């Protein structure tokens, strides 16, 4: 585990999965159908318990221009700046449960933001993902 720092908020637009974890692929496919691929665009998965404890998953993409989320008829939110405890998962496609294991380990860390998301930050140049949770 290591701590990484985001020095500014990241505005994203997103597609909410209809269920968790079964609906994740559907949300990701819908998100990627909205815009052309760009290695400059950051892609995320955001999840946290909501609505009485059910986990809600959002497939998200960084807004590259003001109002882009509205253009795609998506809701937006900000990934808040600050310090995040993180763990990198290599080749997650070969071991789909690796992300789940990483978050279970990260969630044991003291001082997590109680309103924060479990953030999956997908690398565009490599097959890895950075799993991270904001610290208080």
Query: Tens digits of per-residue pLDDT, 17-55?
Result: 999 999 999 999 999 999 988 889 999 999 999 988 899
The share of the chain scoring above pLDDT 70, in percent, equals: 100
- What's the fold here for domain 2-134? Multidrug-efflux Transporter 1 Regulator Bmrr; Chain A (3.20.80)
What is the side-by-side strand order in the sheet with 82-89?
2-6, 82-89, 129-134, 118-122, 43-50, 54-62, 10-16, 75-79
Predicted TM-score (pTM) of the model is 0.93
């Amino acid at each position: 585990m290591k701590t990484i720092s985001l020095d500014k908020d990241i505005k994203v637009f997103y597609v909410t999965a209809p269920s968790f974890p079964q609906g994740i692929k559907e949300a990701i496919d819908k998100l990627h159908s909205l815009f052309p691929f760009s290695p400059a665009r950051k892609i995320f998965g955001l999840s946290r318990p909501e609505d009485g404890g059910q986990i809600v998953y959002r497939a998200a993409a960084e807004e590259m221009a003001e109002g882009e989320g509205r253009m795609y008829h998506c809701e937006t939110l900000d990934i808040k700046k600050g310090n995040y405890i993180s763990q990198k998962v290599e080749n997650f496609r070969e071991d789909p449960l690796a992300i789940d294991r990483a978050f279970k380990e990260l969630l044991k860390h003291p001082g997590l933001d109680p309103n924060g998301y479990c953030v999956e930050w997908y690398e565009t140049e490599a097959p890895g993902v950075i799993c991270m949770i904001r610290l208080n």
